[in-house]
Amino acid sequence: MGHALEFRSQLELAYRFDNRSRLGLAISHYSNASMGDTNPGTETATIYYSIPLNSFRD
């Protein structure tokens, strides 16, 4: 992004299932907050599914 220091803003929505797993959508913006000579910035959208690690214990 043109600088050693970068920032991220993120909005995230998720649904938690009864087994504590989650399905969600996150929208993020990354930039250097105009601290470098250029500030191209970028946006990402992520769909994710997560399972708690303790779900695999007996």
The tens place of each residue's pLDDT in the chain, 58 residues long, gives 678 889 999 999 999 999 999 999 999 999 998 888 888 899 999 999 999 998 777 6
**Paired strand residues for 49:** 23
Model pLDDT, residue 58: 62
Report pTM. 0.72
Q: Where are the beta strands (DSSP E) in 1-58?
A: 7-16, 22-31, 42-50
* Domain parsing of the chain, residue ranges: 7-51
Q: What CA–CA distance (Å, rounded) separates 17 from 58?
A: 20
Phi-psi region at 32: left, alpha or beta (left = phi > 0; alpha = psi -120 to 50): alpha
Model pLDDT, residue 4: 86
Name the amino acid, one letter, at 51: I
DSSP label at 54?
G
Model pLDDT, residue 31: 93
